[in-house]
Amino acid sequence: MATLLQPEKVLYLVRGEKKIRVPLSQLYFCRYCSELRSLECVSHEVDSHFCPSCLENMPSAEAKLKKNRCANCFDCPCCMHTLSTRATNIPAPLPDDPTKTTMKKAYYLACGFCRWTSRDVGMADKSVASGGWQEPENPHTQRINKLIEYYQQLAQREKLERDRKKLARRRPFMPQAFSEKYGLGTRLQRQRSGAPISALYGLSLKEGEDQKEITIEPAQALDEVEPLPEDYYTRPVNLPEVTTLRQRLLQPDFQPAGASQLHPRHKHLLMKRSLRCRKCEHNLSKPEFNPTSIKFKIQLVAVSYIPEVRIMSIPNLNYAVYLTFYILENITHVSLYTCEEEDPDDINSTAKVLVPSKELVLAGKDAAAEYDELAEPQGFQDDPDVVAFRKSNKIGFFIKVIPQREEGDVTVAFKLRHDFRNLAAPIRPTEEGEATSEAIWLTHHVELSLGPLAT
């Protein structure tokens, strides 16, 4: 359906730190700042972790401990599909009577897509359905853990020193303990877009505890390298046995070169994230906590607040465009303006556009009207030269495009101005008892790409 609507042809300009041009379906609208926000000018926060196949929720601390992998589900090392557990009956001797055999259930992992089974790599069948499968142990784990501990300690020490220096400059009377609480908080760090938040900072400093000095041996460089086997250049390659780069790099611990060493790994967890406007710190998008629910607690998407422009059809030079508006409110007034001559936002357009100069009036979205066959005619007077059709919350109008160049793609830009009633703002109690919300006029810069010129 997204390809039918072709949202990439209509781009809205977002005036954030960088000027980004994005389709409206990918934008959010902060109704407190009354501005469009794109994914790059909001801060992303992790809400919860869950496994995509068993949909099990996992608290963040547990997720960190398990390296963001699910405990129950496995990924096929060959095609990255989810593995399923299958059972077979194998004859096994009874514990009491070794001569008689009885059927016991044995479980193995199998992929439904590429038919990989755990027997292919030599993993024995387990007698329990879940929990029996172990990932192979990385031989370098101990060394890596030791290195991490050493560097954690180093980072804490450096942070202390930095705080000490800063406090020495500002207020020499402040005790050191305050720096931990009022120092560089995570909130301030977040506001700097793109600033990497060091994972080591999140560790708690256990003050007052004697910290052992952790020493590590530096890595030793070897002079002699193991020689290659003699038939390395002459041995024919067994292609089905060689792993692809993708299969190899999905297991960075081992990076096996042979397919018979590809062990299954636990499945990666996915996360639900919430978005927050950087300027006013309000939440723009907050999903439900339950992994099985796709709804949102807070969903301030731009499509619900800003009229959306869609290209309807492209006959020769007259272009039909239509405008849809998805808010459940009442009437909205939309007017369009062409960009002025020296508009700094207008860098991409290769054609001039003539938009209707009158104001267009749009009705709000009425959810009940969809199912009501005898829709009452809305009492709007439309100029047939300007308006092609009108249907509940949609209106179609014509624009004329005059290409400026002889060949290439035709791109036009114009400004869309509409009124926005902010219902989130607290309504001041008026004496008449009437709840009027003030209408703000917002202007957006819209670019349409209409395709190449016919030669």
Partner 1 sequence: MADPNAKQTGQKSVKIVAGAVVCVESDIRGDVTIGARTVVHPKARIIAEAGPIVIGDGNLIEEQALIINSYPENMLPDAEDVEPKTMSIGINNVFEVGCVSQALKIGDNNVIESKAEVGRNVILTSGCIVGACCAVNTCEVIPENTVIYGSECLRRVQTERPQPQTLQLDFLMKILPNYHHLKKTVKASSTPARS
- In the complex, the residues that contact partner 1 under the rule CB under 8 A are 78-79, 113-117, 119-120, 240-241, 259
Closest CB to partner 1 among residues 122, 384: 122
Give 371's DSSP letter.
T
Q: In the bound complex, what is the minimum distance in angstroms from residue 114's beta carbon to partner 1?
A: 4
Burial of 406 (0-12, 13-18, 19+ CB in 10 A): exposed
Q: In the bound complex, what is the minimum distance in angstroms from residue 240's beta carbon to partner 1?
A: 4
How open is the CA angle 411-417-420, to the nearest 5 degrees?
Answer: 135
Q: In the bound complex, what is the minimum distance in angstroms from residue 392's beta carbon to partner 1?
A: 41
Give me the residues paired with residue 410 across strands.
451
Closest CB to partner 1 among residues 45, 120: 120
Closest CB to partner 1 among residues 76, 269: 76
Give me Rg for the CA atoms of the chain. Answer: 32
Closest CB to partner 1 among residues 247, 411: 247
How open is the CA angle 59-86-126, to the nearest 5 degrees?
Answer: 80
Per-position b or e across 239-256, b if 16+ CB within 10 A of its CB: eeeebeeebbebbeeeeb
Q: In the bound complex, what is the minimum distance in angstroms from residue 404's beta carbon to partner 1?
A: 43
Kind of pairing between the strands at 69-75 and 265-268: antiparallel
15: part of which helix (H) or strand (E)?
A: strand 10-15
Q: In the bound complex, what is the minimum distance in angstroms from residue 89's beta carbon to partner 1?
A: 11
Q: In the bound complex, what is the minimum distance in angstroms from residue 81's beta carbon to partner 1?
A: 10
Closest CB to partner 1 among residues 176, 260: 260
Closest CB to partner 1 among residues 86, 310: 86
Q: In the bound complex, what is the minimum distance in angstroms from residue 125's beta carbon to partner 1?
A: 13
145: part of which helix (H) or strand (E)?
A: helix 141-169
Give me the residues paired with residue 86 across strands.
108
Distances (CA, A) of 41 to 25, 192, 447: 16, 10, 20
Q: Which of 279, 234, 211 is nearest to 28 (CA)?
A: 279
Q: In the bound complex, what is the minimum distance in angstroms from residue 108's beta carbon to partner 1?
A: 11
Closest CB to partner 1 among residues 51, 78: 78
Residue whose entry in the numeric block shows the structure tokens 């046995």: 241
Q: In the bound complex, what is the minimum distance in angstroms from residue 120's beta carbon to partner 1?
A: 5
Q: In the bound complex, what is the minimum distance in angstroms from residue 87's beta carbon to partner 1?
A: 13
Burial of 270 (0-12, 13-18, 19+ CB in 10 A): middle
Structure tokens at 84: 């399923």
Closest CB to partner 1 among residues 242, 347: 242
Check: CB of residue 24 under 8 Å from CB of residue 270. Answer: no
Check: CB of residue 339 under 8 Å from CB of residue 414. Answer: yes
Half-sphere exposure of 417 (CA within 13 A, CB side): 13
385 Cβ contact partners less than 8 Å away, ≥ 6 residues apart:
398
Closest CB to partner 1 among residues 10, 121: 121
Closest CB to partner 1 among residues 79, 442: 79
Q: In the bound complex, what is the minimum distance in angstroms from residue 116's beta carbon to partner 1?
A: 7
36 Cβ contact partners less than 8 Å away, ≥ 6 residues apart:
12, 14, 15, 27, 28, 29, 30, 302, 306, 444
- Concatenating the DSSP letter of every residue in 165-234 gives HHHHHS-TTS-THHHHHHSS-HHHHHHSTT----GGGGSPP-TTSPPPPP--PPPPPPS--PPPPGGGTT
Structure tokens at 437: 């919300």
Q: In the bound complex, what is the minimum distance in angstroms from residue 115's beta carbon to partner 1?
A: 5
Closest CB to partner 1 among residues 56, 120: 120
Closest CB to partner 1 among residues 218, 240: 240
How open is the CA angle 172-174-176, to the nearest 5 degrees?
Answer: 105
